[in-house]
Amino acid sequence: MTEVKREVFGHMPTEEGGGVVEKFVLKSDSVKVEILSLGCIIAALETKGRDGKFSDVVLGFDTLEGYTRKHPFFGAVVGRVANRIAKGRFTVNGKEYQLFLNNGPNSLHGGARGFDKVLWSPQVLPNGICFFRLSPDGEEGYPGDLKVWVTYTLSGRELAINYRAQTSKTTPISLTNHAYFNLAGQGSQDIYDHEISVEADSYLPVDDTKIPTGEVVGVQGTSFDLRQPVELGKHLQKFHLDGFDHNFCLQQVQARRLVARACHPPTGRAMEVHTTQPGIQFYTGNNLDGSLKGKGGVTYPKHSAFCLETQNWPDAVNKPHFPNVLLQPGEEYNHTTWLVFNAA
């Protein structure tokens, strides 16, 4: 049985439009997750280690103030389009659209005020919570009225996140959750002792602004071959890498499959990622710099967390040979990602 509780987390500042931010607590025997109505943010996720003790494994803040200030999308649902769009520009049905540039020369995670910075309307379910919002035509430069539903359900050790959307005009859409994980417990200094594997035969090389070059390159014999588990710290050292921030290309099937696994041998905590999405961005918190004070007053230095963001391939709207990212009127966008937590 999953228990669902709701409480007030805080009030949005007047200049942000005001409004009550609620926190929803989903609890099973083995996982407890706290989700905010602001940005559908996963603010905490507690899971058991080998010793049976719970630890919070996602980065975030104790108060609403942390989330209303600038932060690197901790725990949030990002959209309309996750990841980067080159020069914030794309053409649909012969019309060119220009988005806000918030990542150097590119648009990232929906723009200046994406899905992560707005209040969603919640509906409590027996085993979870469904958030809804209407993203109006022209919001952040995107075409069409877009209705979006994000549903979190907890069943035992498994947290499912389902994303659905319908549009009035053809629009690009790619939704993901941007939780930052450290299976040793949030506030642990690094993720070097984590073992990571990603079920991908190819990845997307990027230019110096992190936009895919358009090539799809096999991982065989490269530092991107994560098909067998690697210990992260040793792997980064061996290949002289600053970290990962790359899309791995998954099998192109619309069915649930296991795509990645992270494991922390010292505590026994493990997390499997299953999805219907065509890609997964593996990011090792390269831009964290210790400047943010997180939960319990801890700081989050570089490489103190990892993200496994299931999504469409970055800049797919400008790369016709990438998986289709356009949603047409009359169709429904529908993807699910499952996070399964174990203790070995």
Residues 341 and 13: their CA atoms lie apart, in Å, by 35
Residues 257 and 242: their CA atoms lie apart, in Å, by 29
- Strands 20-27, 3-11: parallel, antiparallel or unpaired by DSSP? antiparallel
Instruction: Name the helix (H) or strand (E) containing 67.
Output: helix 64-68
- 178 carries a ligand binding annotation: yes
Nearest to 311 by CA among 101, 120, 85: 85
Nearest to 270 by CA among 187, 339, 215, 337: 339
- 160 carries a ligand binding annotation: no
- 179 carries a ligand binding annotation: yes
Nearest to 269 by CA among 195, 189, 342: 342
Instruction: Answer for the pair 165, 67: CB distance below 8 angstroms, yes or no.
Output: no
Nearest to 259 by CA among 248, 243, 270: 248
- 83 carries a ligand binding annotation: yes
State both tokens at 225. Answer: 């071959």
- Most distant pair of Cα atoms in the chain: their distance: 59
Catalytic residues: 178, 309
Burial label, 6 (beta-carbon count in 10 A; 0-12, 13-18, 19+): middle
Place of tokens 């922390």: 264
Q: For residue 163, what is the DSSP state?
A: E
Q: For residue 174, what is the DSSP state?
A: B
Output the known binding site for beta-D-galactose: 83-84, 178-180, 245
Output the known binding site: 83-84, 178-180, 245
